[in-house]
Amino acid sequence: MPNYKVNIKWGRENYKEVECNTDEDPTHFKAQVYTLTGVHPSRQKLMTKGKTLGDQQESWSNFPLTSGGTILLMGSKEEDIVTAPEEATKFVEDMDDSELASALEMPMGLVNLGNTCYLNATVQCLKTVPPLTATLKKFVGSSTAPDASIAIPAALRDLYNTMDKKVAVPPLFLLQAVHTAFPRFAERGEGGVWAQQDANECWTELVRALQQKLPPDGETKSSSIIDQYFGVKLAVEWKNNEAPDEPVTTSAEDFLQLSCFIAPETRYMHAGLLSKLEETITKHSPSLNRDAEYTKKGRVDRLPAYLTIQMVRFFYKQQGVNAKILKDVKFPLTLDVFELCTKRLQEKLIPMRNKFKELEDAAAEGKLEKKDKSKGKDLKKDESKSANTVSHSFQDDIGSNNSGFYELQAVLTHKGRSSSSGHYVGWIKHKGDTWLMCDDDNVTPVHYEDVLKLSGGGDWHTAYVLIYGPKVLELPEGQTMDPVYCYTTTESESVSSPSTSAE
């Protein structure tokens, strides 16, 4: 593979050892230069040894490259260009998509580099988690580091910073880091373009990479920001179905997402979650000294602030064919997972749940002024608490959920019949009833009712991964919270204890 390390000189700036892969067309290199300098590809003029790389040039022919050579970049960033006087006022109905995005303060999209929609959708959904983005901003490291646990968070940090500048960008450095760390994502299909990949696999690998180096927020038992805000702990009981007298054993398991199993009778996500927590598994029985069937029953013993749920829609048929379950499975905008929890955790959740009910009852009786939903609090910003906003975490477990109530804030969807084909899109909550459909670099406002239609049943976009954020309790003016609601666990109640009951 012809790879060159070149130097780029742009005015007074010099960029050393920039990787140039001539197996890819020049547009990929220009996208990389854009990420470095902010000069849009359409305004780039690249010159070396008297030769110029043309605007529409699709190959490297007649453009001499050598390792260590210097390429001169001519061009200005958009903000450096002198603009014409302001135009007359334009009404919303007369705006195009980019103008509408700016007017509504919508986030920018991500350029598709060739079947990279799975990565773009994942990046957009993860960006809705404020503690994660805040921690990434403080991360120190280079996106070109050979260690994937450094390169991936650094590349994601730089990408989010660029997106915040309201520019549609190609996620080139992140894609390169992912390809280096996970070579299967660098596979090519027909025509030499990148092969489509499974978005949930990408999600899992990205989160695991972030888990290695991103530190936790404040004093906590968690080892990383990922464990702190995404970590689910399960208390599990194992019962031998073939030997009733064998003692029930217990264990603890850690996850970063829950799975919704879709059976023929599954109509609602809640039922699919419950069914996945109870399975029949074959394993060795010490009392029978042979393999036997066990009932594995799990219950959640630690809820994270941000709950990720995967809809298990893909399975392998005979001959290794990857197929999709198109069944319509409804998911809610507001999720209550109380039934999925251990009794120990349920007892901890009750005080905050009672406070929610108390305020809802007061509002129903007209004792509280009802809030206009269109002016409501953006739940994605709930980490910045006002004086009358109660923490969604237990006092000794920052990053947890102390009520069991969640609000949907992002959905990653798939359109097609196979996870390795079709198209992925991210849908994120914006303001009030407005959501945004992030289809690569095209970001479009939609109504929440459009999001609820993503439940499946046909060839339209179908929910594959969902992120639920904490439902935040906002007290009426002048009210304060009784300390009893900020439950603190004792050492003997540690959620990681193998003896935790799953009843």
Catalytic machinery residues:
117, 423
166 phi-psi bin (left φ>0, alpha ψ -120 to 50, beta other): left
**Stretch (H or E) spanning 29:** helix 26-37
Please check whether residue 45 is in contact with residue 52, taking contact to mean a CB–CB distance below 8 angstroms.
Answer: yes
- DSSP calls for 41-91: GGG-EEEETTEEE-TT--S-TT----TT-EEEEE---GGGSPPPPPPPP--
| C-alpha separations of 318 from 263, 323, 327 in Å | 19, 10, 20
CA distance 283 to 214: 36
CB 137 within 8 A of CB 157: yes
Beta strands 3-10 and 70-74, pairing class: parallel
- Give the number of other Cβ atoms within 10 Å of residue 19's Cβ: 13
Category of 14 on φ-ψ map: left (φ > 0), alpha (ψ -120 to 50) or beta:
beta
**What residues contact 478, with CB distance under 8 A and at least 6 apart?**
none
**Pairing mode of beta strands 307-312, 462-470:** antiparallel
Cα–Cα distance measured from residue 173 to residue 158, given in angstroms and rounded to the nearest whole number: 9
Burial pattern 294-316, b for ≥16 Cβ within 10 A else e, equals bebbbbbbbbbbbbbbbbbbbee
Residue type, 435: W
d(CA 208, CA 202): 10
The amino acid sitting at 375 is: K
What is the spatial distance between Cα 339 and Cα 165, in angstroms, rounded to a whole number?
A: 43
